[in-house]
Amino acid sequence: MRTHLTDRVRNLGILAHVDAGKTTVTERFLYLTGATHKRGEVHDGTTVTDFDPQERDRGITIFAAAVSCDWAGHRINLIDTPGHVDFSDEVERSLRVLDGAVAVFDAVAGVEPQSETVWRQADRHGVPRIAFVNKLDRAGAELDTAVESIRTRLGTVPLPVQLPIGREDGFTGLVDLVGMRAYVWADGADTYTDRPVPDDLLEEARHRRRRLEESVAELHPGALEEFCGEGALSAETLTGALRDLTLTGEAVVVLCGSAYRNRGVEPLLDAVVSYLPAPSDMPPVRGEVPADPEAPFTALAFKVSATATGRMTYVRVYAGTIGKGDTVLDAVSGRTERIARILRVQADRATEVDVARAGDIVAVVGPKGVRAGATLCAPGAPIVLEPPTTADPVVSVAVEARRSTDTGRLATALARLSEEDPSLVVRSDPETGQTVLSGLGELHLEVAVEKLRRDRGLEVTVGRPQVAYRETVAKGVTGLLYRHVKQDGGAGQFAHVVIDVAPLDEGEEFAFTSAVTGGRVPQEYVRAVEAGCRDALVEGPLGGHPVTGVRVTLTDGATHPKDSSEMAFRTAGRFALREALRASAMTLLEPVTDVTVTAPAESVGSVLGDLAARRGRVTDQTTRSGTAVVEATVPLAELFGYASRLRGRTQGRGTFTTRPAGYAPAPRGQVD
């Protein structure tokens, strides 16, 4: 069911590698739509979305920030997401509630490692995208090279709809290949002048328009019919076909410009409205909740934030309408919550509204116990939506309060941190009694600890970072028998199981199958054995690390007519797998990362030597315009402190980025 209200809403995210310019794009959106009256700059610390002191100090986006603006009669709800790999869970939670995205690429670097990571995240969520090749005014910028990297590295069909006017410092405007008009920006101008295509670019523009028509006709049946009949595509047909291809993900529309110099942003806003989907264009969430304001209320909480004025829960409303004072059901916990206020958020500022409808992204105040990933719904129409996935932590540090009197405050602050960011995990080490904070990287933990100090006023001491190891089966065992028998005067417990254990293919975590015949183990007890085996994966025999890459086959078993139960078979499954793992040949795994180092060509020898000393394996090396780019796979444990070492070896000119690459066998004798 399509409605006027949802048709005029666009919920989108800005995705990119760190430093590609996505926050600047967001700031220009806000300025050009009139949501702000001054252009915020990252380097000046005056941006709307990077409002946290740490973001302004570090010059990077750390926390996903929601803002809203209006353009061409449409409401645009926009989330500026982090570009650093350590904060990829912020991107994951945002993508779960977005309908579309603008992927921003550097015109010099093209597709960078984190660009690829966030693109794959968007693929998993089925989020339609358009691309914006930014920084065309930089030395070495080349649209065609960037477009080709989109084609080869992302495996999609890029459809450039613009042609730059001028190069590098001389970049002054664009040719719109759909409307065959030129848009030119004067120095310092906020908007463009619309002109005919310059004579010196007319032939090139016609050639590129023809290639665009041919590419679209190959992918879109309706466009193919017109192309074959008329020999060309009208602007209306081309626009409609580009929108269809964007929604299906068969191709990606590519625009270009320089957000910093305010060139190309207005056409990008037009493209957001023209090509990206409205909530009503997306399939019903969970296959049954249409984007209908008249349907029962359904929303997903994707972010929780503690502010000076209270606890705010960010929600995406998928169906129905919610008003101040309404009562909703937290379908995960089963508790009812009252909505005290509804806020339309502009990063760290908010405007109160009376209602929120299907398609809206808002913050609500009032719910006390709702966590990120919870479904809020009408009490009379309960439903549970799929929550965002949370990555497993890979780095841990011990944290303790410097003053013993602050121990309680620290525990409360850590609980609040993990509530706001589910990828932060807090636990107590059973051997040392220390409080351990785990996260997705060294920077992730640095930011969390600094938040404790700044926001909570806590003085804390932090231990040396430790990586999260895993254990896996190198060679399994067959026919391991475990008999669980317990008699304590009352009802007894009896379970008899026989299991085989074998390694799984790389990348797989756990598989369980039953080969029991003749009904010797009833199906409900088979499920209990599987649950017990999953319990046993929490601690491996080498060092108590989680176990992964294991296949368990239940081959036989026996029951007792009175004393067998699901509890007994779950216990048997847990102890059987523990014994089987102790009898198997086990391997310790350590997390590894793909590292991309950019450094002056004259420093490349020093960089390579340092990577080798860190057990790095170089996978690629290129040099362009005096700059070397080295790609390598390096154990995460060897990267602690690498930023300062790289700066020292490259006279401060070297930079690097990382992304998780899974796990690999650790050297013999390595222990956490």
Nearest alpha-carbon partner for 256 in 379, 61, 374, 110: 110
User: For residue 578, what pLDDT is reported?
Assistant: 96
User: For residue 22, what pLDDT is reported?
Assistant: 84
Residue in this structure with the two tokens 């006027």, named with its chain if needed: 4
User: For residue 36, what pLDDT is reported?
Assistant: 77
- The whole-angstrom separation of Cα 27 and Cα 40 is 6
Ranking 189-198, 346-355, 566-575, 600-609 by mean pLDDT, the lowest is 346-355
Tell me the per-residue pLDDT of 7-33, one tens digit each, with 9 for 90 and over: 889 999 888 887 888 888 988 998 899
Top-level class of domain 471-583 = alpha beta
Structure-derived torsion over alpha carbons of residues 487, 491, 496, 502, reported in degrees to the nearest 10? -100
- The whole-angstrom separation of Cα 93 and Cα 63 is 11
Per-residue pLDDT at 333 exceeds 70: yes
Q: Please tell us whether the domain made up of 298-377 is placed in CATH 1.10.357.10.
A: no
Give the bridge partners for 410, in sequence order. none
User: For residue 1, what pLDDT is reported?
Assistant: 37
pLDDT higher for 216 or 508? 216
Tell me the per-residue pLDDT of 47-75, one tens digit each, with 9 for 90 and over: 555 556 665 666 666 667 788 889 999 99
Per-residue pLDDT at 180 exceeds 90: yes
User: For residue 246, what pLDDT is reported?
Assistant: 96
Apex CA 158: angle with CA 272 and CA 122, to 5°?
60
- Fold match between domain 395-467 and domain 590-665: yes
Residues contacting residue 100 through CB under 8 Å, at least 6 positions apart: 10, 11, 12, 13, 127, 128, 129, 130, 246, 272, 276, 277
Axis-axis angle for helices 199-219, 221-230 (nearest 10):
120
Per-residue pLDDT at 525 exceeds 90: yes
41-51 mean pLDDT: 55
| Fold category of 590-665 in CATH | Alpha-Beta Plaits (3.30.70)
- The whole-angstrom separation of Cα 131 and Cα 171 is 19
Highest mean pLDDT among 236-250, 278-292, 431-445: 236-250
Contact 636/443 with Cβ under 8 angstroms? Answer: no
Counting residues of the chain whose pLDDT is more than 70, the rounded percentage is 92
Per-residue pLDDT at 658 exceeds 60: yes
118-127 mean pLDDT: 89
Tell me the per-residue pLDDT of 218-257, one tens digit each, with 9 for 90 and over: 999 999 999 999 999 999 999 999 999 999 999 999 999 9
User: For residue 61, what pLDDT is reported?
Assistant: 61
Top-level class of domain 395-467 = alpha beta
Per-residue pLDDT at 309 exceeds 90: no
Using pLDDT thresholds of 50, 70 and 90, give the confidence band for residue 634: very high
Sign of CA pseudo-dihedral 259, 263, 264, 269: positive
Kindly state the tokens that stand for 152. 């080869």
- The whole-angstrom separation of Cα 427 and Cα 437 is 7
Using pLDDT thresholds of 50, 70 and 90, give the confidence band for residue 311: confident
Using pLDDT thresholds of 50, 70 and 90, give the confidence band for residue 175: very high
User: For residue 432, what pLDDT is reported?
Assistant: 74
Bridge pairing between strands 375-377 and 349-353: unpaired
CATH of domain 4-281: 3.40.50.300
Tell me the per-residue pLDDT of 447-474, one tens digit each, with 9 for 90 and over: 889 888 887 788 889 998 889 899 999 9
User: For residue 422, what pLDDT is reported?
Assistant: 87
User: For residue 3, what pLDDT is reported?
Assistant: 43
Per-residue pLDDT at 539 exceeds 50: yes
Residue type, 464: R
Contact 138/153 with Cβ under 8 angstroms? Answer: no
Residue in this structure with the two tokens 């509204």, named with its chain if needed: 353
Per-residue pLDDT at 561 exceeds 70: yes
pTM beyond 0.85: the answer is no
Ranking 29-43, 139-153, 592-606, 656-670 by mean pLDDT, the lowest is 29-43
Per-residue pLDDT at 2 exceeds 70: no
User: For residue 331, what pLDDT is reported?
Assistant: 92
pLDDT higher for 34 or 204? 204
Axis-axis angle for helices 265-275, 22-32 (nearest 10):
90
- Give the domain ranges of the chain: 4-281, 298-377, 395-467, 471-583, 590-665
40-53 mean pLDDT: 56
pLDDT higher for 290 or 533? 533
Kindly state the tokens that stand for 310. 């209270």
What number of residues does the chain have? 672
- The whole-angstrom separation of Cα 643 and Cα 653 is 11
Per-residue pLDDT at 127 exceeds 60: yes
SS3 144: helix
542-552 mean pLDDT: 93
- Average pLDDT over the chain, rounded to an integer: 88
Tell me the per-residue pLDDT of 377-428, one tens digit each, with 9 for 90 and over: 999 999 999 888 887 888 898 999 888 888 889 998 898 888 888 888 998 8
Residue in this structure with the two tokens 């339609």, named with its chain if needed: 128
